[in-house]
Amino acid sequence: MTAREWFTRAEKENFAIGAFNVDNLEIFKGIVTAAKNKNSPVMVQFSPGEVGYFGLKNLVDLVINAREEYKIPILLNLDHSRTVEDCRAAISQPGFDDVHFDGSHLEIDENIKNAKDVVAFAHSKGVIVEGEMDKLGGSSEVHEEEIDEATLRQSYTDPKRAAKFVKETGVDIFAAVCGNIHGTFLNQKDLDIALLTQIKGALPDTFLALHGGSGTPAEQIKLAIKAGIVKVNINTELRVAYHDALLEKLGESPNEYKIYSFSNEIAMAVAAVVENKIDVFGSAGKA
């Protein structure tokens, strides 16, 4: 099944597909093991920094090999790519299902022009495109402060502008901003579900993505899926699981130099987080 078919099914059956960022091999193994255990479709995604670390060709091979080995649907997405060139490079590789062109740092006309270019090339290769109009705040890390709601509100998606953006660019997925923010904070995130419902109403034929899924209460994620979200991005919670498990293992065995002897256990700490997310997203058993 293509990514478009998966998201169409998710919308119809009221579930979302987790789009999990891959920092390293342990996190990758954690994600695909969890998806296998839950018999769930899953999306793995790489941001520019993560692509830089792995190398584009290596990550493609990793995903293609895992599809065969784990025998579950593993969709591949380029996350937050800020240039047309990087999108084209990914689309030109075998294996990509989706690219996220993030032109939210550009003037709107420039964003639309570039997104349109990406869409034309992607669609010619059977790849779908996610567009972003409103700058999503935060960064995928643990923030030791509260969310600044007043600032966050300034970037909330305006449904009418979103409809115009989608019509002009032809993007398949739209990154909605409605209280979501990258990273975890001292206070909980509070999604504006009424706004999300309006965005979906303005974009009936476009898939909706929710970035900044980490640290969002499960009940809110479930409401967001009911309102039309079919892709939930998770990064920070995986980074935290990996980081904490690694620290714990090194603390227990400071003289162990064969680090891979406990890498699998670290991967399973990540898998536990992913399994929990899959349950919340309702994608278990859908593979």
Q: Which among 79, 102, 172, 192 is annotated as catalytic?
A: 79
**Residue whose CB is less far from Zn ion, 100 or 200:** 100
Using the rule CB under 5 A, is 211 a contact of Zn ion? yes
**Residue whose CB is less far from Zn ion, 36 or 211:** 211
Minimal distance, residue 211 CB to Zn ion, in Å:
3
Residues 25-64 that bind Zn ion (CB under 5 A): none
Minimal distance, residue 253 CB to Zn ion, in Å:
35
**Residue whose CB is less far from Zn ion, 45 or 114:** 45
- Tell me, yes or no, if 172 is annotated catalytic: no
**Residue whose CB is less far from Zn ion, 210 or 225:** 210
- Which residue's beta carbon is nearest to the bound Zn ion? 211
Which region among 48-56, 91-99, 208-216, 238-246 touches Zn ion (by CB under 5 A)? 208-216
Minimal distance, residue 21 CB to Zn ion, in Å:
9
Residues 117-136 that bind Zn ion (CB under 5 A): none
Residues 154-193 that bind Zn ion (CB under 5 A): none
Task: Label each residue of the chain as H, E or C.
Answer: CCHHHHHHHHHHHCCCEEEEECCCHHHHHHHHHHHHHHCCCEEEEECHHHHHHHCHHHHHHHHHHHHHHHCCCEEEEEEEECCHHHHHHHHCCCCCCEEEEECCCCCHHHHHHHHHHHHHHHHHCCCEEEEECCCCCEEEEECCCCCCHHHHHHCCCCHHHHHHHHHHHCCCEEEECCCCCEEECCCCCCCCHHHHHHHHHHCCCCEEEECCCCCCCHHHHHHHHHCCEEEEEECHHHHHHHHHHHHHHHHHCCCCCCHHHCHHHHHHHHHHHHHHHHHHHCCCCCC
**Residue whose CB is less far from Zn ion, 114 or 180:** 180
Minimal distance, residue 247 CB to Zn ion, in Å:
26
Six token digits for residue 144: 């030791």
Comparing CA positions, the residue from 194, 226, 198, 196 lying closest to residue 211 is 196
Which region among 91-99, 209-217, 219-227, 261-269 touches Zn ion (by CB under 5 A)? 209-217
Minimal distance, residue 212 CB to Zn ion, in Å:
6
Interaction site with Zn ion (CB under 5 A)? 211
Instruction: Report, as residue numbers or ranges, the catalytic residues.
Output: 79
